[in-house]
Chains A and B, each alone.
Chain A
Amino acid sequence: KAGVTQTPRYLIKTRGQQVTLSCSPISGHRSVSWYQQTPGQGLQFLFEYFSETQRNKGNFPGRFSGRQFSNSRSEMNVSTLELGDSALYLCASSPRGVGIEQYFGPGTRLTVT
């Protein structure tokens, strides 16, 4: 079974621009979560989608948004990029509803200049 895939793997953007990152979960997984990893803050939860509905949201500004499609693929969008948004963005999928291990993709490395 193919793992979680994320595209693109690397991205360089300029302050003020917007960016869309994509995640394809493991086949059959309906839950997709997004995390941001930075050296200073570690791994922080952004949001989770289950059956196209946002089920939970972390403490991030409204510039961070996401969505999930009927095939469980997910996208996250960051508008009006700031230098502090430079991070590794990780997507994870889970086979069942709740309380189950999540499987992470390789991440998208976003650099904002």
Chain B
Amino acid sequence: DQQVKQNSPSLSVQEGRISILNCDYTNSMFDYFLWYKKYPAEGPTFLISISSIKDKNEDGRFTVFLNKSAKHLSLHIVPSQPGDSAVYFCAASDSGATNKLIFGTGTLLAVQP
């Protein structure tokens, strides 16, 4: 049972344009969501997070939007840069008792110069 889903395995965007990565979840107990960026043979790098009490969180070029009623979150990268090319994972947590993260399957972002 995939509780966190990233339905787009890959996304290609032109440099300078907006990248939008999407994530859906099924477990209504999730109350904390995170986005990670990962290069091959490296560990995931934390990008941005959002608590379920908010619907938007912004950090520089990265903005995460949360739509609780639709159980959907998205990561916007503006403007996209070639160095943003990587696999992006969304993750969710039921933060009440543990730091266990449930990860989506990832979206490979390619930013074309």
User: Is A31 on the interface with B (CB-CB < 8 A)?
Assistant: yes
Beta-carbon contacts under 8 Å, B32-84 to A: 32, 34, 36, 41-46, 49, 51
What bracket does the count of chain A residues touching chain B fall in? 20 to 34
User: Is B95 on the interface with A (CB-CB < 8 A)?
Assistant: yes
What bracket does the count of chain B residues touching chain A fall in? 20 to 34
A50 to B45, CA, bound (A): 21
A48 to B46, CA, bound (A): 18
Are B99's CB and A102's CB within 8 A?
Answer: yes
| Binding site secondary structure of chain B | loop
Are B102's CB and A99's CB within 8 A?
Answer: no
Are B97's CB and A55's CB within 8 A?
Answer: yes
Beta-carbon contacts under 8 Å, A54-113 to B: 55-56, 58, 88, 90, 92, 94, 97-107, 109
Beta-carbon contacts under 8 Å, A15-72 to B: 31, 33, 35, 42-45, 48, 50, 55-56, 58
Number of A-B contacts (CB under 8 A): 77
A94 to B91, CA, bound (A): 15
Are B42's CB and A100's CB within 8 A?
Answer: no
Nearest B residue to A57 via CB reads B100
Question: 5 A-B contacts, Cβ less than 8 Å apart?
Answer: A99-B95, A104-B44, A104-B46, A106-B43, A107-B41
Taking Cβ atoms with an 8 Å cutoff, the residues of A that contact B are 4, 31, 33, 35, 42-45, 48, 50, 55-56, 58, 88, 90, 92, 94, 97-107, 109
Apart from A44-B103, A100-B95, A107-B43, 17 more pairs, CB < 8 Å: A4-B43, A33-B99, A42-B106, A43-B44, A43-B89, A43-B101, A45-B101, A45-B102, A56-B98, A56-B99, A94-B99, A98-B96, A99-B93, A99-B95, A102-B46, A104-B44, A109-B41
